[in-house]
Amino acid sequence: MQSDIARREDALAGLLSRAVAARRGPLLQRSPVSAAKALFAAKIDKFNKGTYEDWLAQRTELNGKKGTNEVLHEVSAGQINQVRGAYEALAAEAKAGADEQKGEKSTKYVATGKKAQAAAKLSAPVKAKQTVPRPQASEMTWEYGAEHGDLHFGGKPTKNKTKWSLSKDTAIELMEAEIRKHLNRMVRDSSVVEGTWTNWYIAYEPDYEVGKHQSGSTNTFSMQVQVNLEEKFISFHGYPDEQVQGRGIGTARNQIA
């Protein structure tokens, strides 16, 4: 059984053939579908932005062959638009990989690399989001994230890394106190979608120095907190932060209040 794409390709070929019937020139020396691609595939954006006459003038040297423009003048703007529309529909369908045969849909990927991955992602069925019961705040556990957090202990501050003046144990105790302070809010407003982490940012300013930056010292620190209600787990780390504006908690650093 002839595929839908093949049927459209035949229809496109017939349309282009009728449009240039009884003419001679480079356009007729190519297959109708190949000629359509040459006319429209490479310059679709330019065609969309200009008038038919402007576009036609830009195609005078199409394929470097004389006589092409004369042939194009015999094809009306309406016919050109018909062919262009038919080819675009055909190309879009081929690119998406939709090919219906025998009433069943099978997928063929014309593109390669990233385009193929994108096409596959678009055509994949959307999985329904599963949710989990919202736990009680008392069920949550938390852990300091040493991989990022330890970068702010020891040594001198740099352009991109502030350093705690406090000992590691003292700084972690200070951050855990902020976790407990904002725990109910984080459990109440974090996502219950299965497998989802919700990001939170906390800023606090005690009445004593907590760390140093390149230009001096600061009493303020920020925390990055990730909450997973499915696992009933919180990961956190923090650092002295003289630049943070808000005090409190938010889902973005510039929304702390």
Higher pLDDT, 71 or 131: 131
50: tokens are 């200009």
Q: What is the mean pLDDT of the chain?
A: 74
- Predicted local confidence at residue 229, as pLDDT: 97
pLDDT band at 128 (very low <50, low <70, confident <90, very high): confident
- Predicted local confidence at residue 129, as pLDDT: 85
- Predicted local confidence at residue 29, as pLDDT: 46
What is the pTM assigned to this prediction?
0.53
pLDDT band at 188 (very low <50, low <70, confident <90, very high): very high
- Predicted local confidence at residue 39, as pLDDT: 52
Domains of the chain, residue spans: 4-123, 137-255
CA 179 to CA 203: how far, in whole Å? 11
CA 20 to CA 241: how far, in whole Å? 71
> Residue 149, exposed/middle/buried by CB under 10 A (0-12, 13-18, 19+)?
buried
Statement: residue 241 has pLDDT above 60: yes
The H or E element spanning position 85 is helix 77-96
Statement: residue 25 has pLDDT above 80: no
Q: What is the pLDDT of residues 70-124, one digit of tens each?
A: 444 444 455 556 656 655 665 555 555 544 444 444 444 444 566 666 666 666 6
Residue in 69, 67, 74 with CA at minimum distance from that of residue 55: 69
CA 11 to CA 17: how far, in whole Å? 10
> Residue 236, exposed/middle/buried by CB under 10 A (0-12, 13-18, 19+)?
buried
Statement: residue 203 has pLDDT above 80: yes
Q: Quote the percentage of the chain above a pLDDT of 70.
A: 51
- Predicted local confidence at residue 231, as pLDDT: 96
Considering only 97-101, 122-126, 166-170, 247-251, which range has the smallest mean pLDDT? 97-101
